[in-house]
Amino acid sequence: MGGANSLVGVDALAAELAGPRPPRLLDVRWPVPWPAGHVTAGPGPADPAAYRAGHLPGAVFVDLDADLAAPPAGGSRGRHPLPDAHAFTAAMRRLGVGAGPVVVYDDGPGFAAARAWWCLRFFGHEDVRVLDGGIAAWRAAGRSTETGEAPLPPPGDFTADPGHLPMLDARGAAAQARLGLLLDARVAERYRGESAADPVRGHIPGAVSAPTFDSVGADGQWHPPTFLRTRFAILGAEGEEVGVYCGSGVTAAHAALAMTVAGLPTPAVYVGSWSEWIADAARPVAIGSARG
């Protein structure tokens, strides 16, 4: 799926919902804190209360922690391990997902929605997009919402088939940092080791700081593909094999979507990310602004 087809605008989505083949809508409200100067939101976990207070008509709620991740299992696989194919199949079928189009959205920046996009694409769904600007853009355009719980749709027939997008484990991430380009999608303070957000501070040696917050504007809508492509070119991504990681594998999916929207190959995501990397004290850690 090309980058231009990975996002959908409010007006285009409204037209599709009124058409003969409306997409399945998945609400993935899972607030992510924004750095200073951006729209702010509370931290996760999933936010079903926000869904009940107002959602796109017919949308069903997706719990990122339960439906888009496996249990953390003590942290050795990170905070949001990839669910296995059986569990993901069951979750998506319960939400009514089949082979037809799917649109995912969140509060607007697209971090949680990108995790849903990435999981569906990784497991073989060929028609999934993120609503540009999320529910904030939908409301700003004067579109209607529903309250309460939408009834679950009839069960879908989606079957998860893993491996349709590239993925890294810890060994692969280390090799990517040495031999190619590994982007760290966290805010720069966490990359440099200046933030107390992580129990172990720093970054994977050789990784390049590339905060994925820079891919969206303060209103939560994505920057144009030309802007994104220039940004990734400055980071050295054009013509390189690229991997990306973050704190727990959520904002890494956002960075993967950003590169896809830019028209670049979708990078390999290190799903375990920093939370898995630091679970093994033998793995090296770099501090400061240099790649290490």
Q: Residues with catalytic annotation?
A: 246
Amino acid at 172: G
Yes or no: say if 16 and 5 are a contact pair by the CB < 8 Å rule: no
Residues in the chain: 292
SS3 per residue for the chain? CCHHHCEECHHHHHHHHCCCCCCEEEECCCCCCCCCCCCCCCCCCCCHHHHHHCECCCCEECCHHHHCCCCCHHHCCCCCCCCCHHHHHHHHHHCCCCCCCEEEECCCCCHHHHHHHHHHHHCCCCCEEEECCHHHHHHHCCCCCECCCCCCCCCCCCCCCCCCCCEECHHHHHHHHHHCEEEECCCHHHHHCCCCCCCCCCECCCCEECCHHHHECCCCCECCHHHHHHHHHHCCCCCCCEEEECCCCCHHHHHHHHHHHCCCCCCEEECCHHHHHCCCCCCCCECCCCCC
| Of residues 153, 151, 145, 130, the one with CA closest to residue 50 | 145
